[in-house]
Structure 1
Amino acid sequence: MKIIYSYDEKLLDLNETANDDDIEFNINSLGMDIKQQVYKIREIFNENKVLTDILVYAHTNQRYQIIVRKDFYNDFIIELFRQQLVTEVKWA
């Protein structure tokens, strides 16, 4: 099953690009400070034993680059939803 998500395009610019075994997300905040949500996501994934599940890079001006292993993709999207960075998640 494929996961589909949506987000408020007035608040975020969110793009994902598939690489070999990873998916790269570029998230830009268009207003609100999302640093706490992004760091909370990183903290949650740091609690498991897999060191390379997600890699988070913070850039200037509320821009984040997050590399997610494909086998953690659904977990990552669900966590974006929990942190209110995406507004809807459904499976198709």
Structure 2
Amino acid sequence: MNMHYEWDAETIRIEESANGEDTEFAIEIVRHDPFAESMKRVQAHFEANEVHTDVLFYAYPGHRYQVIVRKDYYVDFLLELMKHRLLRALEWK
């Protein structure tokens, strides 16, 4: 089973690719207000937990992020994006 997700292209751009066993996301926040703050909350959520290698965030100018997600945290990461309204739909396929 795979996860299928959708986002509003006027709010965020997401590209997903394989990175070995992990998944890499290239994310750009297009509508900065209030969604740039939402992305910071997603980052803070994963940085505050006890597992430091679950989701790695690399921030770049222009509200762009490279995010590397361990295989076993893929669903958790997508759920956190959904929770902060960065995704508009999330379902199992």
TM-score of the alignment, normalized to the shorter chain, above 0.5: yes
Equivalent residue of 2:42, what SS?
Answer: helix
Unpaired stretches in structure 1, ≥5 consecutive residues: none
* Alignment partners' CA distance in 1, 2:11 and 2:43: 21
Aligned to 2:7: 7
Aligned to 1:82: 83
Q: Which aligned pairs between 1:62-81 and structure 2 lie closer than 5 A?
A: 62-81=63-82
The two structures have a TM-score, normalised by structure 2, of: 0.89
Aligned to 1:56: 57
Aligned to 2:18: 18
The two structures have a TM-score, normalised by structure 1, of: 0.90
Structure 1 residue 8: Cα displacement:
0.5
Structure 1 residue 62: Cα displacement:
1.3
Cα shift readout 1:37-65 (whole Å, capped 9, x = no counterpart): 12211221123221100111111111111
Q: Which moved more, 1:27-36 or 1:62-71?
A: 27-36
Aligned to 1:42: 43
* Alignment partners' CA distance in 1, 2:52 and 2:42: 14
Question: What RMSD over aligned residues (CA atoms) do the two structures have, in Å?
Answer: 1.3
Equivalent residue of 1:44, what SS?
Answer: helix
* Alignment partners' CA distance in 1, 2:43 and 2:9: 23
**How many residues are paired up?**
92
* Alignment partners' CA distance in 2, 1:15 and 1:46: 22
> Percent sequence identity over matched residues?
37
Aligned to 2:32: 32
The amino acid that maps onto 1:82 is K
